[in-house]
Amino acid sequence: MKMMVENDLNLLFSGFPYGSTKNVKVKTKMEKAYGKSICSINKSDGNLNPHFCTGDSAFRLQQVAGNHHISNLETYRKPIHQKFLKDFVGDYRFGRQFDDQIAVTIPAAMDSSGKAWHERSHGLELKIAHHKHFDNVKSEKAPKNWLGFFKKIKKEFAGIEERCGKHIY
């Protein structure tokens, strides 16, 4: 949180790219709300870097991983982003036509200007396990046996057994 506040970030995320969409309805919804659309996003210098559509730009929008990110809700509450998100979700709030990962990615990229950071690229290594990898890094395998892992590391972290033990045993 300190990193978010000190750098006035919109989004701090663990993984990118983590899936993508080619659904042109997403592009149309961006154009309706923002008057422009992002055709692609890459990560450069640890930041999301949107490339806006021009002419016949190919549309393939990559997205941040949904398993861990910290979002500045002031960004997502801005009227322009609310306009997009309400149209994006539609009338049925439990609809799954569009994924929540892309709903987090688009406002952050539209509003980014260097304010959507990749955690590890900025020195933040949290080692959050998801799909048997740490921090969405395929080369960093997380243990498959969590009970064994907990027993192995519990001596290294003061208080972890008191805080987490009842959830593991």
Out of 121, 138, 159, pick the residue that ends a domain.
121
pLDDT of residue 167: 67
164 plus 92 within the same structural domain = no
68 plus 24 within the same structural domain = yes
pLDDT of residue 49: 93
140 plus 105 within the same structural domain = no
132 plus 81 within the same structural domain = no
53 plus 90 within the same structural domain = yes
pLDDT of residue 96: 65
User: SS3 letters for the chain?
Assistant: CHHHHHCCCCEEECCCCCCEECCHHHHHHHHHHHCCCEEEEEEECCEEEEEECCCCCCCCEECCCCCCEEECHHHHCCHHHHHHHHHHHCCCCCCCCCCHHHHHHHHHHHCCCCCEEECHHHCCCCCCEECCEECCEEEEECCCCHHHHHHHHCCCCCCHHHHHHHHHC
10 plus 82 within the same structural domain = yes
pLDDT of residue 132: 83
Instruction: For residue range 92-150, list pLDDT tens digits in order.
Output: 766 666 778 899 999 999 986 789 999 999 998 888 888 888 888 888 888 777 777 77
pLDDT band for 35, please (50, 70, 90 cuts). Answer: very high
Which residues have CB under 8 Å from 141's CB, separation 6+?
Answer: 132, 133, 134
20 plus 102 within the same structural domain = yes
Residues of the domain holding 132: 127-168
Kindly report the pTM of this predicted structure.
0.82
Question: If you average pLDDT over residues 14-25, what whole number do you get?
Answer: 91
89 plus 74 within the same structural domain = yes
Token pair in block for residue 115: 């304010």
pLDDT of residue 106: 96
Instruction: For residue range 59-103, list pLDDT tens digits in order.
Output: 999 999 988 899 999 999 999 999 999 998 887 766 666 778 899
pLDDT of residue 169: 57
45 plus 116 within the same structural domain = yes
pLDDT of residue 89: 86
The domain total for the chain is 2
Identify any residues that bridge with 47 across adjacent strands, giving them in sequence order: 44, 117
55 plus 77 within the same structural domain = yes
pLDDT of residue 37: 96
88 plus 144 within the same structural domain = no
106 plus 77 within the same structural domain = yes
Task: Report the range of poorest mean pLDDT among 9-18, 25-34, 123-132.
Answer: 123-132
